[in-house]
Chain A
Amino acid sequence: MKTVIEFLKKALLLDLLEGLWITFRHQHPKNIYTEQYPLTRPAVAERYRGAPRLNIHPVTNETLCIACDLCKIACPENLIVVGFVRDEKKRKQLTTFTYDLSRCMFCGLCEDACPVDALELTQDFELASYTRGGQIWDRQMLEEGPRPTEYRQ
């Protein structure tokens, strides 16, 4: 008896039809998951580790960075260069800040090391550029952020 049922199942292609039924059900519009990038950009998580940013004070417009060099020391790839001068009171003043994105692996250790939350990895994820030099961000770029390209259909 059992073998007859097995045979019938095989002959009627039940195993294949079951698979077809599962795939057929996925046609329902509510089961569509494709994202229409770049027309609609996905919302990435709050903690997303993307393009770096050097924060400036919202009121005074001065940089928050105290040029302590801790981010440079923490970085495994050693890609941050912090330039500073000493002012009259022997305090460090930030002059330049260079960040080589092409070598960065977005591990977040620099962000973790910064004592004043000046360096931050943001939710920007579109980092392509036409030249290698474009991957090396200077202080202005880090403070203002990249300028995203507009896409039109």
Chain B
Amino acid sequence: MTTAFESNELVLNMGPQHPSTHGVLRVILKLDGERVTGTECVIGYLHRGVEKIAENRTYAMFAPYVDRMDYVSAVSNGLGYCLAVEKLMGVTAPERAQVARVILTELNRIASHLLWLGTHALDIGAITPLFYTMREREEVLKIFENYCGARLTTHAFRIGGLQYQLYAGFEEEVRAFCAMFPGKIDEYDRLLTGNRIWRDRLEGVGLLTVDECKQLGVTGPMLRASGLAWDVRRAMPYSGYQNYEFEIPTGTRGDTLDRYLVRIEEMRQSVRIIEQAVARIPEGPIVARGMKVIKPPIGEAYLPIEAPKGELGYFIVSDGTIHPYRVRVRPPSFLNLQALDNMARGALVADVVAIIGSIDCVMGEVDR
């Protein structure tokens, strides 16, 4: 018989409007005192049926919709979709388009990581970094705005190449950003990495091993923080990533602090890639030939890319018409979120906030 003092399980509802769940994630926490004994994610609040919408649109028309899945890294989403359709059609984008794609997606990776860093720090209680990261992100968004006229839902690429010509002054703006940004990363580093409160909150929290990652399909910075140097850009290069030199940062412990360090280092590597790419923008066309009507042959194609959050894949089935028969998205956030239970078991309630933050999930992508 259990007495009132021993009856131990308390169920606590976190979200869906909790500010630290980054959107509309609802987590049901089972608690024993302050300790979490189990979690359950309830998702679907942001479901818009993007995959179904694809079946009623032509290939070109669907391109703006993918921006709305992971709205923080819309450019990467667009790249993944365009590359998958290009694979289905057997075309490759011209050289100039490929280099511009690399620059824009790496800028987008920086923007995504900056937003993550700011909000993650905010969750932990450090309010200041948010203002600084937003300020730098603004510079990236300005480049996007000058290039394609939108800041968030960019629709930057079209199937077969770029949607817009690069504008005059693009290279200078990107170079200026590359010159300015590493100093800012050092600033965040000095502000946070050595800070004892930051370390105490993150170190040893939310441990995840490589085996668990493999079982759950966790990819991206979370997998690398656990110690496996797996990066789709290196393992299955696309858009000419094999021509760039960059390192794959990895962690050793697989805790929340490692995920933070990996992402900080990834921003530095992104700057490195952008610097190499901007030095070699070739002249030439920006769209491949024969892209007026997009009508892939009957068949199917899957193509993964390394989005800021992990492996983002598009699986497209074509029945030979101008409409896709089926589009399936493999969203990194959705699969990474599944690791929450493994990480949060045994943690304290306050640590759950840090763990959710370190997953860097965007609910628009989880629910689609």
Contacts and interface: CB of A to CB of B under 8 A. Distances in A.
Interface of B: 57, 60-65, 68, 128, 132, 135, 138, 142, 145-150, 153, 155, 163-164, 167, 187, 190-192, 194-197
A127 interface: no
A48 B149 contact: yes
Contacts of B195: 15-16, 19
Contact of A15 (B138, B145, B194): B194
11 contacts: A18-B191, A19-B128, A19-B192, A19-B195, A23-B191, A33-B138, A45-B142, A107-B63, A107-B155, A108-B163, A109-B64
B233 to A, nearest CB: 27
Interface of A: 10, 15-16, 18-19, 22-23, 26, 33, 44-49, 74-76, 105-109, 112, 121
A14 to B, nearest CB: 8
Contacts of A109: 60-61, 64
Nearest to B126: A19
B196 A15 contact: yes
Contacts of A16: 195-197
A10 B64 CA distance: 51
B191 A22 contact: yes
A27 to B, nearest CB: 12
Which of B57, B64, B138 gathers most chain A CB within 10 Å? B64
Nearest to A50: B149
Nearest to B197: A16
Contacts of A44: 145
Contact of A19 (B65, B148, B149, B191): B191
A74 B61 contact: yes
A108 B57 contact: no
B19 to A, nearest CB: 22
Contacts of B128: 19, 23
B146 A45 contact: yes
A83 B187 CA distance: 58
A10 B200 CA distance: 13
B194 A76 contact: no
A108 B149 contact: yes
A-B pairs with lowest CB-CB distance, top 6: A107-B64, A47-B149, A76-B61, A49-B149, A45-B145, A45-B146
B146 to A, nearest CB: 5
A47 B164 contact: yes
B324 to A, nearest CB: 13
B294 to A, nearest CB: 12
Contacts of A75: 61
B146 A47 contact: yes
A76 B65 contact: yes
B212 to A, nearest CB: 32
B60 to A, nearest CB: 7
B190 A19 contact: yes
